[in-house]
Amino acid sequence: MKSQKKNIDRRSFLRTSALAGGGMIIGFNLFNACKPKVKPAIDISKLNFNDFNGFIKIADNGMVTIFAPNPEIGQGVKTSMPMLIAEELDVSWDNVHVVQGGLDMDVFQRQVAGGSQSIRHGWEPLRQTGATAKQMLVNAAAAKWGVDAKECSVENGVISNKKGEKLGYGEVVLDAAKLEVPKDVKLKNPKDFKIIGQDVQNVDVDEIITGKSLFGIDFKREGMLYASVMRPPAFGQKLVSFDDAEAKSKEGVVDVFQFGDKIAVLATSTWIAMQAKKNLKATWKEDTTLESTEDHDKILFDLLAGNTFETLRKDGDINKAFKEADSVLERTYESPFLPHNCLEPMNFFADVTDKKVELVGPIQTPAGTANRIAKELERDIKDVSLEMTRMGGGFGRRLYGDFAIEAALISNIAKKPIQVLFSREDDMADGIYKPAIKYNISAAIKDSKVTGYHLKEAAINSNMYGLISNFFPAGAIENYQVDIANYKSNITTGAWRAPYTNFLAFAEQSFFDELAETMDVDKIQLRLDLLQNVKGTTDERIEYSPERLEAVINEAVEKSNWGKVDKNTYQGFAAYYCHNTHVAEVADVVMEAGVPVVKKVTCVLDCGIVVNPLGARNQVEGGVLDGIGHAMYGNLEFKQGVPQSTNFHNYRLVRMKETPKVEVHFIKNEIAPTGLGEPALPPASAAVANAIKAATGIRITKQPFINASEKIFG
């Protein structure tokens, strides 16, 4: 297991200053590598966001405002990250107000909401920040009293000394701001946490339930025009010509123009822009091959059967293991393209003038996107500002800045402030999809042991990356090999919630059930036995812990009443490690009118310390249901380059009545927290498929399940 490097130079990541209007401001940079060129700021309105990526303001009435550095897409980091600061600062959460911070270009570290890593990366530095601020306040109080700071204690923003005298933070902020930033502060023992580990509601909940404008789509600017964009209807097409006479004749249409292979319609309202786009007559021509799902199926099967693989991990000799095996099990698993379908469609605001490039909208990668736009427009990055809004879902789609670049290009031509909004149809047809992937897995069995394991991945555009090939069962089987191959398509693909593992977990955890059946051993015991082989490993690439995986498995067995449910309930099991989190899930299925229905999912996770259990349960529940919903119904097919689903009438998302209950349990420990937005998703589909097998006798190897077999869903 690897440990994260920890050497935080607080001097370079924290500065304080008195505020003109009273109170104190603390600017901090999330990570140690930040450049130590920061000058103290004097007034919050003059604070330069190039210097810091987060701020704490302590007012002279003791109220604390935390400017959260990370964008919010629904994973709750805007709530949980400030909780870390408030914990060490020792203030009452009721006195804390959280505001979304702006973009920091220069000292940018990881202002990316993706990969479930925000909490993991912020855990240490954010607590250090809070603790440092607290120490300064205590030092200021101690100086005032003429006592040793060590003799002072703090509770809920009130400092006390041995004589029983008390000073609120608000009373010492001005003095504290003048003090040196202390070098060595002590972090709390997790046992003493008061805020971390408590259920804290989403900090934006009041705004959300009253319909306040928070999202990118809600951003308005005086004189702003609404842009609707016509893009090539098929992947592989180019624009030849277009006739905009009818569109331009519509009242409210301000301009129509081509940019690249796209046509922008600018109008005085969203509706007019969307309607006028339908009046455009464009001619397209084939530029590269127009691909269909049938072609992809054949191509991926050919890749699996071929020999163009790259090997990602190779232990022992699988050929020998398969030659000497008593028996071999081989299965192929298939998954389609998936669109993200964030409920808030892609959109962005841009105002490009001679002086500046102003961008506002929902984006997970503000720095990278701002840089790309600077390049596209040949502008100095100093002219570019990008403000993040709340995001109506991300799921990976908003890592890509295509929509922001479109907005910038259009505003640059129109020389007006504009907002690009994708219609739902645009959003589905112009996606950056989860690629279609197929896995072929074989296992060699000898003397009732798994002696060889061979996983082959055939994917569109790109393959599994990073350490994924070293996830379980890597390290557990002597002869083990992971091979990958891909086909470069003109259909755009990218990250989709829990990239690769979202389907890999389905394939492998379905396979283990089949393997146990073939070997005639207990399904869970097979996994536990294999885990024993990983204990004590010195393999640096293995980052999962066999002990922690074993613990979540055992806990899931107990919490789900595994094997002890009534005879009409059929259970399926899956366990997985990804995004630094160990998870085990059990799905309970019953037959209703001859059709298997998922009633409940029990989910046990080890994600280290749970910062905000309320938010964490919400994340896990969402992840499990997303995994099940997409496995059941998610499917985007192509014909001649054209996506065959266009809107929610022909693309099915999971809805209320298809939603099982989700029971979430966290393993209690004092290990640094890991991600939660993603890891609950991958095992869910396998747990359900395994339960459906138990209920119907039919093994599903292809997503979406709903199309898998007429015998199951009619």
What residue ranges bind other proteins (CB under 8 A)? 72-74, 76, 199, 201-202, 204-206, 208-215, 217-218, 220, 226, 251-252, 269-272, 274-275, 341-345, 390-395, 421, 423-424, 614-615, 618-619, 621-622, 625-626, 629, 647-649, 653-657, 659, 661-662
CB of 196 to other proteins, least distance (A): 17
Total residue count of the chain as it appears in this document: 714
C-alpha distances out from residue 22 to 39, 57, 65, Å? 19, 10, 14
Query: Does 343 participate in binding ligand FES (rule CB under 6 A)?
Result: yes
Nearer to other proteins, 342 or 384 (CB): 342
Which of ligand FES, other proteins, none lies near 625, with the C-beta cut-off 5 to 8 A by kind?
A: other proteins
Nearer to ligand FES, 462 or 618 (CB): 618
Query: Does 393 participate in binding ligand FES (rule CB under 6 A)?
Result: yes
CB of 73 to ligand FES, least distance (A): 9
Rounded Cα gap, residues 491 and 638, in angstroms: 9
How many chain residues touch ligand FES (CB under 6 A)? 3
Which structure tokens are listed for 643?
């996506």
Query: Does 679 participate in binding ligand FES (rule CB under 6 A)?
Result: no
Rounded Cα gap, residues 241 and 284, in angstroms: 7
Amino acid 166 reads K
Nearer to ligand FES, 74 or 641 (CB): 74
Nearer to other proteins, 204 or 295 (CB): 204
Q: What is the DSSP letter of 192?
A: G
CB of 676 to other proteins, least distance (A): 12
Rounded Cα gap, residues 37 and 85, in angstroms: 23
Quick note: the x/- pattern for ligand FES over 499-538, rule CB under 6 A, is ----------------------------------------
Rounded Cα gap, residues 223 and 320, in angstroms: 72
Which of other proteins, ligand FES, none lies near 366, with the C-beta cut-off 5 to 8 A by kind?
A: none
Query: Does 394 participate in binding ligand FES (rule CB under 6 A)?
Result: no
Q: Of 398, 383, 277, 413, nearest to 347 (Cα)?
A: 398
CB of 705 to other proteins, least distance (A): 17
Q: Of 56, 307, 302, nearest to 169 (Cα)?
A: 56
Nearer to other proteins, 199 or 670 (CB): 199
Nearer to other proteins, 219 or 512 (CB): 219
Which of other proteins, ligand FES, none lies near 226, with the C-beta cut-off 5 to 8 A by kind?
A: other proteins
Nearer to other proteins, 152 or 267 (CB): 267
CB of 326 to other proteins, least distance (A): 44
CB of 688 to other proteins, least distance (A): 14
Rounded Cα gap, residues 514 and 616, in angstroms: 32
Rounded Cα gap, residues 280 and 278, in angstroms: 6
**Phi then psi dihedrals of residue 381, to 5 deg:** -60, -25
Nearer to ligand FES, 490 or 618 (CB): 618
Q: What is the DSSP letter of 672?
A: P
- Residue 685, SS3 per DSSP: helix
Which of other proteins, ligand FES, none lies near 235, with the C-beta cut-off 5 to 8 A by kind?
A: none
Cα-based angle 81, 544, 690 (whole degrees, multiple of 5): 100
CB of 343 to other proteins, least distance (A): 4
Q: Which of residues 42-81 bind ligand FES (CB under 6 A)?
A: 74
Beta bridge partners of 51: none
**Phi then psi dihedrals of residue 545, to 5 deg:** -105, 120
Query: Does 629 participate in binding ligand FES (rule CB under 6 A)?
Result: no
Rounded Cα gap, residues 371 and 380, in angstroms: 9
Rounded Cα gap, residues 401 and 407, in angstroms: 10
CB of 661 to other proteins, least distance (A): 6
| 44, HSE (Cβ side, Cα atoms, 13 Å) | 17
DSSP string, 410-429: HHHHHTS-EEEE--HHHHHH
Q: Of 611, 598, 704, nearest to 93 (Cα)?
A: 611
579, 602, 629, 340 alpha-carbon torsion, rounded to 10°: -20
Which of other proteins, ligand FES, none lies near 23, with the C-beta cut-off 5 to 8 A by kind?
A: none
Nearer to other proteins, 79 or 580 (CB): 79
Q: Interface residues with ligand FES (CB under 6 A)?
A: 74, 343, 393
